[in-house]
Amino acid sequence: MARYSRITGTGSYLPPRRLTNADLANELAGRGVETSDEWIVERTGIRARHFAAADVSTSDLALQACQSALDAAQLRAADIDLIIVATSTPDMVFPSAACILQNKLGVAGCPAFDVQAVCSGFVYALTVADAMIKTGAANKALVVGAEVFSRILDFSDRTTCVLFGDGAGAVVLEASDTPGILASDLHADGKHVGILCVPGNVSGGKVLGDALLKMDGQAVFKLAVGVLESSARATLAKAGLQEADIDWLIPHQANIRIMQSTAKKLKLPLEKLVVTVDQHGNTSAASIPLALDTAVRSGKINKGDTLMLEGVGGGFTWGAVVLNY
């Protein structure tokens, strides 16, 4: 019998500290950095974001999201036999956030590792977990996107620091004899490293280079609009589906203008676009599972719906997963 994987539970978590654009603009004004709610809303669609407290790490956010995904799937952590965390802001250089999360979940033994593909991390991690389930290497996986991007923001750079937030989202992906994940399509092009990066590293006990995020927003914007369309089409073709078969489009939540342009190119009505960027900002690898869980819990997404998840970000990386929920 064919073996597939399907999502059986979703969860998410946002740290309690919420800053509206006005709150952030006030804080930045204290540092001599000028921005406004009007600029941020008009250029990005973002209205608020959450920042984690200083003693809270990626694995803490991931733990909360996983517990809620496990509850939704009616499973216990001990039932899980694979943990993959997509993150670019792990707790430590090593070990992985996934190993730290595993310990916080109170379990041991199953493989646990991080996937680093920046804002495409969740679609990369979901694709890896799907492949491992299909080959029989795993039966019940926790696939997580979790970030504390506030730690790597340059609060003197208004072109980037207003865009990002912290949070986590998770899904339980289980082996199934009916298809859940239908197709995926992943890509990277490392020649674009410089347009979105944190160009620092740890050496000899010191940070070498710059440990804060740098982005050429317009270059990223142009690339993102093109690859989100092409990877959606490639994924639909692999699954033998048409644009009209998509019930919900859940792109990486970076900028409402990019998301709406993708929906238009795919001839999807804007009502089919799941939008959380307004409330979460860009949470990198966490943005897609956060949006997914929000839409599931609000009753928008129902069993049997066809979902297109799409990531794009630093690397340059991009990709999509189409699935039957």
Mark the segment that binds ligand UT7 (CB under 6 A) among 35-43, 85-93, 239-247, 271-279: 35-43
Q: Is there binding between residue 258 and ligand UT7 (CB under 6 A)?
A: yes
- Tokens, residue 105: 């979940």
**Total site size for ligand UT7, rule CB under 6 A:** 21
In whole angstroms, give the CA distance from residue 174 to residue 325: 12
| Nearest distance from C-beta of residue 51 to ligand UT7, angstroms | 16
Site for ligand UT7 in 266-295 (CB under 6 A): 282
**For ligand UT7, which residue of 170, 172, 224, 274 counts as binding (CB under 6 A)?**
224
Q: Is there binding between residue 255 and ligand UT7 (CB under 6 A)?
A: yes
When the beta carbons of 179 and 217 are compared against ligand UT7, the nearer one is 217
- Tokens, residue 39: 């600029």
**For ligand UT7, which residue of 218, 267, 270, 302 counts as binding (CB under 6 A)?**
218
Please pick, among 66, 99, 119, 197, the residue that the annotation labels catalytic: 119
In whole angstroms, give the CA distance from residue 325 to residue 179: 9
How many angstroms from the chain centroid is the CA of residue 208? 27
Site for ligand UT7 in 83-142 (CB under 6 A): 119
When the beta carbons of 8 and 284 are compared against ligand UT7, the nearer one is 284
Mark the segment that binds ligand UT7 (CB under 6 A) among 92-100, 203-211, 218-226, 302-310: 218-226
Q: Is there binding between residue 159 and ligand UT7 (CB under 6 A)?
A: yes
| Nearest distance from C-beta of residue 218 to ligand UT7, angstroms | 5
Q: Is there binding between residue 35 and ligand UT7 (CB under 6 A)?
A: yes
When the beta carbons of 130 and 147 are compared against ligand UT7, the nearer one is 147
In whole angstroms, give the CA distance from residue 156 to residue 4: 47
Q: Is there binding between residue 313 and ligand UT7 (CB under 6 A)?
A: yes
Is 119 noted as a catalytic residue in this protein?
yes
Nearest to 125 by CA among 166, 76, 184: 184
When the beta carbons of 79 and 278 are compared against ligand UT7, the nearer one is 278
Please pick, among 50, 99, 252, 324, the residue that the annotation labels catalytic: 252
Spell out, one character per residue from 52 to 81, where the chain touches ligand UT7: x when CB under 6 A holds, - when not.
Answer: ------------------------------
| Nearest distance from C-beta of residue 105 to ligand UT7, angstroms | 28
Nearest to 111 by CA among 124, 98, 123: 98
- Tokens, residue 293: 């869980």
In whole angstroms, give the CA distance from residue 197 to residue 179: 36
**For ligand UT7, which residue of 200, 221, 261, 300 counts as binding (CB under 6 A)?**
221
Q: Is there binding between residue 45 and ligand UT7 (CB under 6 A)?
A: no
- Tokens, residue 10: 């979703």
Is 282 noted as a catalytic residue in this protein?
yes
Active site residues: 119, 252, 282
Site residues for ligand UT7 per CB under 6 A:
35, 39-40, 43-44, 119, 158-159, 162, 196, 217-218, 220-221, 224, 254-255, 258, 282, 312-313
